[in-house]
Structure 1
Amino acid sequence: MGVTHGKSAVKACLVLVLGCLFVGPAAAVEPLEAEGFDHYTLALTWHPGFCQTQGSPPRECREPSLRESADEGFVLHGLWPSLPERFADKGVTRQRWWSQGCFLERPRADGGFCRAHAPFDFEDSLDDELDHAMPGRASCLDRYEYAKHAACLSLPAEDYYETAVDLLDVVNASAFVDYVMIHRGSDVPRNALIQAFEAAFGENTGRALSLQCNGRGNRVLTEVRIGIDAERLAGFPQADSLVSLRRGRCAPRVSIPVMSG
């Protein structure tokens, strides 16, 4: 079966019955050295939904050149380690870790995201990849995300973002994102999104997916979060690399907007 014909068959299956199992060939994902935590949450933004639900849309929502990657699927929000043991041993709760992260040890400087960390000196190839994968870099989202979620965990910034971009690429190449892209501009049942995820990544893997919505009645898709075992990044997206996350916040029917303007 040719690649084009195979992909079309997968799309047809998802659209019609959401009943076939497809786990495509995974791109190589470089493992990161996990420092005493169990899993990562890969947070991927549905850029049109994010921009639509912002009262004051940031630069990456206003400038057309910064929105081009939204035509390829999700874009990168962050890669979040779960509560590290050394923080838990000090009495830090999961809720406090998610709220403050590494800022518990090194408080965030006052001001916007750009003050959270110095600019990165990445190689041009990674700089270009990250610019495309993470439109929020225009608002220094990369500096804030690293400072909050990784700077205190001995995760080198270059390795951290190379892995995050690789994970994003794997998700965007999946039949799950095919389903989301096909249904842009329409409403779908929340459960259909979960079923599409399981059709792409394996039976019962929907527990590793947390759907995030915003807007009136939490109906507009803004983000998906995927739980990944910290020791099995290189095996992503195989089912045994996924871990359960808490249920997200989306209404029974979810709107998947397209980028406007």
Structure 2
Amino acid sequence: MHFLSKVIVGAALLGVASVVPASSQVKLDGYFLAEEACPAFKSFRKQTNPGSVHVERMRAYELLGKNKAQASHYFIRMNGVNPAERWVDVSCGLHLVEAEGSGQTAGNGSGGSAGSKVVRPAVKGPSADAEFLLAASWQPAFCQTHQEIPECSSQVEGRFDASHFALHGLWPQPRGNFWCGVTRAEKRLAEERSTRGQLPPVELEDATREELDKVMPGAQSHLDRYEWVKHGTCYSDSAEEYYAESLDLMEQLNGSAVRDLFASNIGEVLTTAQVRAAFDESFGAGAGKRVEVRCKGGLITELFINLKGQIEQDTPMSELLLAAKPVQSDCQGRVDPVGFN
């Protein structure tokens, strides 16, 4: 694979100038990258959280400041919530800043100078050390909370994504490795679903486009453009390579005992143990330990699949799974059928 050499960390915001209120003692530049879905407080001292807002894991937010030099909380700005300025615990994520001319992004996860580190780009070029996360959605569950978007309003029982996993994305790791060589204007368009259609179309071969439209129903609302701009640019300089290899992984997943387990239990509850056992059956003993089963509202919404190694078309997923790091997971949920409850 051939990769771009520049990494830029993008915020999930418009990048406007920040004003830190008097309550924030130390102004900071850069971004806060959430590593966990932590609460975002209006007041961390009083633990007030209007709207029960949480930061989204693996998302970057504009960083305004911290409460003191040896901080306990970062002050960030979030779009779409009121109030937009919120406090999050420093243990929830990383302080990231662009390192001029270095091709690296400096990160400080401690709130001070101690514990500072460099968050490097994903390994570029062929490497057995490269790490990735394959996010595979169970689309009917996703659509329960996104009923108005095209891929959900058009979903019917006989469509592929009603009984197979849908591609959310293939994400180079570590977390925060996204927006490689992407302009600020492109990031702004990508962050809002309503403006993603203004991004340049993803150029693919006809066969790849046909398969992607089937396996990634979100392409109806330009998810393909978003995933390419945010994650694919850190994977390859070729969208064809990025999506062809993503689709090959999805074909292996949808041809496995994992998909059979879900398809034969639509409307029923599955546990993490059952899902992991199906991974072990198809991809080797221990493969299931590399998979996080994600649930929301009593439904299984997504699988986060840890992978490690050089990905090419026809690379066995078993090799990539067994080389990856184990991950904790403990949820159970219903396999949602098509239709809105």
Say whether the fold is shared (TM-score over 0.5): yes
- Bigger helix share: 1
User: What is aligned with 1:77?
Assistant: 168
Amino acid aligned to 2:132? Y
1:230 to 309, 322, 326: 309
Contact 2:182 2:229 in 1 (8 A): no
Amino acid aligned to 1:246? V
Mapping of residues 38-53 of structure 1, within 5 Å: 38-52=130-144
Q: Deviations over 1:77-113 (max 9, x none)?
A: 1011113xxxxxxxxxx3xx06xx2178633124435
Q: 2:219 and 2:158 mapped to 1: Cα distance?
A: 12
Q: 2:227 and 2:213 mapped to 1: Cα distance?
A: 14
Q: 1:228 and 1:157 mapped to 2: Cα distance?
A: 20
User: What is aligned with 2:48?
Assistant: none
Mapping of residues 157-196 of structure 1, within 5 Å: 157-196=239-278
Amino acid aligned to 1:169? E
1:162 deviates by 0.8
SS at match of 1:238: helix
2:220 to 133, 138, 146: 138
TM-score, structure 1 as length reference:
0.71
| Shift in CA distance, 151/237, structure 1 to aligned 2, threshold 3 Å | closer
| Shift in CA distance, 241/195, structure 1 to aligned 2, threshold 3 Å | closer
Q: 1:239 and 1:154 mapped to 2: Cα distance?
A: 21
Runs of 4+ in structure 1 over 4 Å off = none
1:209 deviates by 0.8
Higher relative contact order (CA 8 A, sep 6+): 1
Stretches of structure 2 lacking an aligned partner (at least 5 in a row): 4-121, 125-129
How many residues of Structure 1 are paired with residues of Structure 2 in the alignment? 210
Q: 2:236 and 2:272 mapped to 1: Cα distance?
A: 37
Mapping of residues 1-261 of structure 1, within 5 Å: 32-33=1-2, 36=123, 38-52=130-144, 54=145, 56-64=147-155, 68-83=159-174, 94=175, 97=176, 101-102=178-179, 106-107=183-184, 108-110=187-189, 111-112=192-193, 114=196, 117-215=199-297, 219-233=298-312, 234-239=314-319, 241-242=321-322, 243-248=324-329, 251=331, 253-260=332-339
1:72 deviates by 4.2
Amino acid aligned to 2:139? H
Q: 1:136 and 1:67 mapped to 2: Cα distance?
A: 17
Amino acid aligned to 1:50? F
User: What is aligned with 1:15?
Assistant: none
Stretches of structure 1 lacking an aligned partner (at least 5 in a row): 1-31, 84-93
TM-score, structure 2 as length reference:
0.56
Contact 1:72 1:172 in 2 (8 A): no
1:202 deviates by 1.1
SS at match of 1:64: coil
- Bigger strand share: 2
SS at match of 2:233: coil
| Shift in CA distance, 81/179, structure 1 to aligned 2, threshold 3 Å | same
Q: 1:225 and 1:73 mapped to 2: Cα distance?
A: 15
Q: 2:249 and 2:137 mapped to 1: Cα distance?
A: 13
The alignment-based identity, stated in percent, is 28
| Shift in CA distance, 168/116, structure 1 to aligned 2, threshold 3 Å | farther
User: What is aligned with 2:92?
Assistant: none
Amino acid aligned to 2:315? G
Amino acid aligned to 1:221? I
